[in-house]
Amino acid sequence: MAFNIRLVAIFLGFILRLADGRVQLGGFENVNPTHVNGVQLYEGDILLTEEQRKQLLDRKAIAKVSMRWPNGQSGTPVVPYKFGDELVNREAVEAGLAHWEEHTCIDFQEITSIDPAKYLNFIQDSGCWSNLGMQSKPQNISIEKGCDDLGTVVHEVGHALGLYHEQSRSDRDDYVSVLYENIEDDKKINFEKAVDNNHSVPYDLASDMHYGSNFFSINGKNTITTKYPLVQGLIGIRNGLTHYDKLLANTMYPCISKWMQICNIATNPCQNDGYVGKDCQCVCRSGTIGTHCQTVYQSYYDSLISPCSENVTTPGPVTSPSYPNNSPAGVRCVKWIQAPDCNTVKIKFNYFKLYRKEPQCVIDRLEIRTTNLTVGDV
């Protein structure tokens, strides 16, 4: 069951965000164990080695080439893996690995006989977590029941390949605001910034590696808000690899240069953050078209945000999706309502209903921002 809401907005001048929170509040990181085998998880789901804890390597993509998975006989990276117990959701894991293989040159090979010295061992432990990059010995990836959706599996495998969280980038303050007053005191370290090794790949609010709006919230309010209001619903969705996730992975390993060599292409012909793919054609970001991605017809995020998100500048009704019926599960809407000069705000709720169920945390949420576009009340 989802919320039904109908608003009559007359020259409104605030941000209204409607979010169907049909997932655990705060994401799986928020309910993960704090420690695994006595070692504290870093940023909620990363199991660092002692050396990594001391050095806190450059973020976004791990700097040490020795911690990236090496090439196999085919000349492309090979990542051996196995299932460490019968509890783990094999179908979900295999779907996540297939997603990585579809969009990169990385080859995941299941171990059927003698175990190599280094491989991924998928288990169902408490929570969902992974090591960062390739380790010097077999490494566990925990995929607990309840966080075995595609985006989460892709996320944890991303850590094992060497990817940090997106909001760890040093340039994140240009795109998001971190509201430390809403973060649990012992979790504020999860929001630290560091020098990046991002291979010149742009910041991606939609990245599968990005935190969500209220991760590690102490009061249910947002811990991260976007500078551009209409994209608030994108962060933390994790439906799989975005264009810039693929661009980063294919640059760092490096798949693109190998594909260009196979395709006999000396210089990347793709424009506007496009890149040469395995079929020798340009892989274009959303908002661009053309053989070489040369035509920009809208911004990167325009086609990614929910169809129910909009910038409202004239009086009239504002409704939730499917009103008067229940909104579909997982819908996130942002209504950025801006009043003309010399006008003020008047709002009338004709019908209002939110659904909340505990302890399963099936939650509908309404957030209204008034004087501050980055801070709102739930």
Look at residue 376 and tell me if it is in a domain.
Answer: no
- The DSSP symbol for 321 reads T
Annotate 69-90 with b (16+ C-beta within 10 A) or e (fewer): beeeeeebbbbbbbbbeeebbe
Residue that terminates a domain, selected from 130, 163, 196: 163
- What pLDDT is recorded for position 14? 47
Per-residue pLDDT, 357: 61
Residue that is last in its domain, among 124, 145, 163: 163
**Can you tell me whether residue 207 is helix, strand or coil?**
coil
Tell me the C-alpha distance between 346 and 113, whole Å. Answer: 69
What's the domain count of the chain? 3
Same domain, 20 and 137: no
Tokens of 38: 């006595």
Q: Smallest Cα–Cα separation from 321: which of 356, 362, 360, 364?
A: 364
Q: Residue 12's domain spans which residues?
A: 4-24+304-369
Specify whether 310 is catalytic. Answer: no
State the 10-residue block means of pLDDT for the chain, 378 residues long.
Answer: 43 46 52 64 65 52 73 92 94 97 97 88 91 92 91 95 91 94 90 78 96 90 90 92 97 95 96 97 97 97 90 86 82 85 81 68 73 60
Based on the fold, state whether residues 157 and 49 are members of the same structural domain.
Answer: yes
CATH number of the domain that 45 lies in? 3.40.390.10
Crossing angle for the helix pair 150-161 and 90-103, nearest 10 degrees? 60
User: Same domain for 316 and 284?
Assistant: no
Q: What is the distance between the alpha carbons of residues 163 and 247, in angstroms, rounded to a whole number? A: 12
- 242 located within any domain: no
Closest CA to 43 of 202, 226, 197, 183: 183
Confidence (pLDDT) at 376: 52
- CA gap 326, 18 in Å, rounded: 13
Who's near 113: CB < 8 A, 6+ residues apart? none
State whether 102 and 148 are in the same domain: yes
| pLDDT the model gives residue 358 | 59
What pLDDT does 45 receive? 65
Q: Are 41 and 33 in contact (CB under 8 A)?
A: yes
What is the full DSSP assignment across 182-216? GB-GGGGGGG--B-B--TTPPP-TT-TT---TTTT
The encoded tokens of residue 44 equal: 């909620």
Tokens representing 367 are 């957030």
Question: Which residue, 327, 285, 307, is CA-closest to 233?
Answer: 307
What type of residue is 2?
Answer: A
Helix ranges (DSSP H) in 77-231: 90-103, 150-161
Give the CATH number for residue 261. Answer: 2.10.25
In terms of Cα–Cα distance, which of 304, 253, 323, 322 is closest to 69? 253
- DSSP 8-state assignment for residue 87: S
Distance between CA atoms of residues 242 and 238, nearest Å: 9
Domain co-membership, 280 together with 314 = no
Rounded CA gap, 60 and 316, in Å? 43
| Single-letter amino acid code for the residue at 336 | W
The predicted structure's pLDDT at residue 49: 62
Considering the domain architecture, whether residues 53 and 106 belong to the same structural domain is answered as yes
Tokens representing 207 are: 């990245």
Q: What is the dihedral of CA 132, 133, 136, 137, to 10 degrees?
A: 70
Residue 69 located in a structural domain: yes
CB 210 within 8 A of CB 165: yes
Domain final position from 101, 133, 163: 163
Cis peptide before 80 (omega within 30 of 0): no
- The one catalytic residue in 43, 144, 156, 367 is 156
